[in-house]
Structures are given as C-alpha cells and as structure tokens.
Amino acid sequence: MPTAGTDRDRTVGILTTLGAYVLWGLFPIYFIALEPTSPSEVVGWRIVLSFVFCLILLTIMRTWPKLWAIMKQPRLLGWTALAGILIYVNWQTYLVATLTGHVIEASLGYFINPIVTVLLGVLVLRERIGATQWAAIGIAAVAVIVIVIAYGAVPWIALILAGSFGLYGLVKKRIGTDVDAVSGLTLESLWLLPVAAIQLIVVAVTGGLTIADGPPLHTFLVLMAGVVTAVPLLMFAAGARRVPLTVVGLLQFITPIMQFLVGVFVLHEPMPFARWIGFALVWVALIVLTVDSLRTSRHRESSKAARN
C-alpha cells in the first residue's frame, strides 16, 4: 500500500512535469514576442543567458562539486558536448520555425518525436518492439509521405526537430544519472558559448543587435531567455524521476497540442486539407503507440503484483 509520502511525491512529480510541458507549449507566444530579434540572436542570447543562470543555480544549490566531478570524466564530457550540439540544432531550427510562420510544422515534429524515440531504441539500443509499435511507426511514415506528396514539400522542420530531440534524449539516456540536470545544462551551454559568441558578433556586424532596441519590456523578455530555457528543463528533470515513464509519455503530448492550437487559432497559419490528413495519420499512430504502452504497463504491474 503506497504511503502518504509516496502519493505526495507522485503528485509533485506529475505537477512539475505537467508544468514543464505547458511552458514548452507556450514557447511560440514567447519567442514571437521577441520580434524583431532574429533567430540567430535569440539563440545566441539563449545559450549565454542559460549558462549564466546555471552558474547562479550551481552557487545557490552548492552543487559545484558535482560539476567538478563530471568535468574530470572525459567520457561524460564527450556526451555532454554531443548533447549540446543536438540541442543547439533543435533550438536554432525551432526559432527559425517559430519566427517564420511555421509553428504548426514545428508541432508536427514534436508529435513525431515519440515515434522517432521508439525507432532509435530499435536501431541504436537494439530494443525489441511488438507488431503494434511497428504499425505505429509505419502509420507515421505514411503520414510524412502524405504530407510530402499532397502538400508538395518535405516537412524538413518537423523532421529535424523530431530527429535532433530524439537523439538528444538518446544521449541523455546514455549519460543516465551520472550527470544531474543543472550540471548537464551548464556543460551543454558551456560548449556552445563559442557558437553563441560567433552568432552574436555576426548579427552585430551585419544588422545590429536588437536586445536594447524598442521598449524596456522587449529587453526584459530577451534577458529572460536563460530562465525561460532552464526552468522547464529543470522542472522536467525533477518531475520525470518521480512518476512512471508511461505518465511522462502521456503528458508529453500536451506541448505539441498547445503549439498546434497556437499555430492554428492564434497565429492563423494555413492548414490545408492535405496537412489535416497528414496530422490525422500521425495522431492515429500516437494513439496506437499510447494504447500499446498503457497495455504493456498494466501487464507488467499485474505480473509484479502476482509475484508479490
């Protein structure tokens, strides 16, 4: 019988994980509010300010020893560098999508992400999956083909976002619990500082930095990029370890659903019939994958209860 402490811990885990996904779902509104700042400048400040915010957190939480211990292990440093590259690709692509009127396509990427995660598990980790999961992957593949043929364009933004975040999750799985959330984000931001510096210098030389342009609110919003980036990541890390993976998997659909709704009803991006068909097929694939995941989870819990 679960204790009150266990129930409370689970509740906290669900709420913090839910909060992270809701914040990610609101990202399009936040980043559009940063206009006329370009995607390159936003990503540059996002990296620099995330690093600064993490340094503050390390000091407040007194977890510098954890960071020093990680930095003495070349293997972990290599993994965090790779994670940094992948999250950079994800951030840059997402900012370009959001600030060029492709929020709906970006949401498609995060709808596809669970399918990509399963596929990476099979191809890289040699995990075995059942016929139902293969069916979900097949339906998702058909959805992409439908969008390419009927809509007349390859959804590169969606594919890059799904692939980069899927690989980022794979790297995080390889690292495991050896790297805590704050130290991980600190190192990922650290490796990207030269890239951020180059981007900000190029922007300054070619068009001029816009962080100080416009009203004070604009400057404040840009300066909040580090907090906006780090907080949901840390909330997710705190919540995900307190709840079953199946719960995390179900909650993750909140982000693309919110982004999709923002794109359609707030930003009024075009949604032709062909795109509706493609999205519908992706949603069918996700329903198949979710039902199979819940059924497998219940079967495992029943078997565990029977053994006890």
- 173-183, pLDDT tens digit by residue? 788 778 888 89
In the predicted model, what is the mean pLDDT of residues 142-166?
84
pLDDT at 43 exceeding the cut of 50? yes
What pLDDT does residue 95 have?
93
What pLDDT does residue 149 have?
77
Confidence at 195, pLDDT banded by 50, 70, 90: very high
In the predicted model, what is the mean pLDDT of residues 34-63?
92
Confidence at 42, pLDDT banded by 50, 70, 90: very high
Between residues 306 and 243, which one has the greater pLDDT?
A: 243
In the predicted model, what is the mean pLDDT of residues 89-112?
91
What pLDDT does residue 2 have?
47
pLDDT at 307 exceeding the cut of 80? no
What pLDDT does residue 207 have?
84
Between residues 295 and 33, which one has the greater pLDDT?
A: 33
DSSP string, the chain: ---HHHHHHHHHHHHHHHHHHHHHHTHHHHHHTTTTS-HHHHHHHHHHHHHHHHHHHHHHHT-HHHHHHHHT-HHHHHHHHHHHHHHHHHHHHHHHHHHTT-HHHHHHHHHHHHHHHHHHHHHTS-----HHHHHHHHHHHHHHHHHHHHHSS--HHHHHHHHHHHHHHHHHHHHGGGS-HHHHHHHHHHHHHHHHHHHHHHHHHHT---TTSS-HHHHHHHHTHHHHHHHHHHHHHHHHTTS-HHHHHHHTTHHHHHHHHIIIIIS-----HHHHHHHHHHHHHHHHHHHHHHHHHHHHHHHHHHH-
Query: Among 79-88, 132-141, 158-167, whose mean pLDDT is lowest?
Result: 132-141
- For the chain, what are the domain ranges? 4-307
- Total-model pTM: 0.84
pLDDT at 3 exceeding the cut of 60? no
What pLDDT does residue 1 have?
45
What pLDDT does residue 174 have?
82
In the predicted model, what is the mean pLDDT of residues 172-201?
90
Between residues 290 and 72, which one has the greater pLDDT?
A: 72
What pLDDT does residue 191 have?
96
In the predicted model, what is the mean pLDDT of residues 250-259?
83
pLDDT at 15 exceeding the cut of 50? yes
In the predicted model, what is the mean pLDDT of residues 130-154?
80
pLDDT at 102 exceeding the cut of 50? yes
In the predicted model, what is the mean pLDDT of residues 126-135?
78
